[in-house]
Amino acid sequence: MKQFSGQLFLLLTVIAAFSAHAEIDIKVYHEKSKKGFKVFANNNEFCPISIKVNFTLTNMESEKGDGKVFVIPARATKFEITSLKPIRKGKYKFSYKTRYNYGNHYLTVYSKDYKYSLPFETGKSFKVSQGYNGSISHQEENALDFAMGIGTNITAARDGIVVRVVDTNDTTCPEKECAKFNNFVQIYHSDGTFAEYTHIKRGGAKVKIGDEIKKGELIAESGNIGRSTGPHLHFVVFIQKLGERRTLKTKFLTSHEKKLEVLKQGSSYLRD
């Protein structure tokens, strides 16, 4: 078309990783259309991805504005983010930067009263060595530490799909700097929340990315890897927004699975 003669365009995509361990498997790209260009995303992950797109436009406009956060469904291919078109005839150019993360940035409704199972085998009992907002490392964090020996079987507290597995690290220390060495299994739930089972031993994962997991299924062996002061399982449920992890208090079935309660630091719990 005549109005596109002498066109200039530039593409710049900046990858924002979820953590230091791995990049999120998402591709953002554009294709020419009848009126300009369309910007698409391919999400190869097994959970939604939230992505913020910032455009630099010369003689162009974005159909859906600038600086918006879009939610790309799990396993989506060629998901249209927006359309770009020239404002008037003549030269134009565009560039864009992206920032993204796991989860639905806009999630506000989830299963607050879901009945979680204790994350270990039936017949076993473990003490909560650190509870919500604990003084050691859980300040302003709704996370639980179960004191358990290395090699203890960890089971899924809830159905879901495995989205991340890291079990190749073997470094341990109590300082914050060692958090980058955490080994963990991360599972995405049907209500949009995630659970992370952390400090598993090297090679201790029993699942892989994409596995559909049932409550009570073996997923890993506990360890003492990453930021840790001793062998334990760090368990946390959270909502992942673009730049923030919101940790959530959870309710577990205890006392022969007849009672639903929030676990307390210093108490031991039997899965029976």
* pLDDT tens sequence across 25-48: 999 999 999 999 999 999 999 999
- pLDDT above 80 (res 160): yes
C-beta of residue 3 within 8 angstroms of C-beta of residue 86: yes
Do 2-102 and 115-270 come out as alike in CATH topology? no
Question: Structure pTM?
Answer: 0.89
Which of 11-20, 132-141, 187-196 comes out lowest in average pLDDT?
A: 11-20
C-beta of residue 235 within 8 angstroms of C-beta of residue 146: yes
Are β-strands 194-198 and 143-147 bridged in parallel, bridged antiparallel, or unpaired? unpaired
CA distance 179 to 228: 8
- pLDDT above 90 (res 17): no
C-beta of residue 224 within 8 angstroms of C-beta of residue 201: yes
Taking residues 118-139, report their average pLDDT.
Answer: 84
Q: How many CB atoms lie within 10 A of CB 262?
A: 12
Burial of 52 (0-12, 13-18, 19+ CB in 10 A): middle
**In the chain, where the domains are located:** 2-102, 115-270
Q: Which fold has domain 115-270?
A: Glucose Permease (Domain IIA) (2.70.70)
Q: Tell me the CATH architecture of domain 2-102.
A: Sandwich (2.60)
What integer pLDDT is reported at residue 12 of this predicted model? 36
Phi–psi pair at 178, nearest 5 degrees: -85, -5
- 174 pLDDT band, cuts 50/70/90, is confident
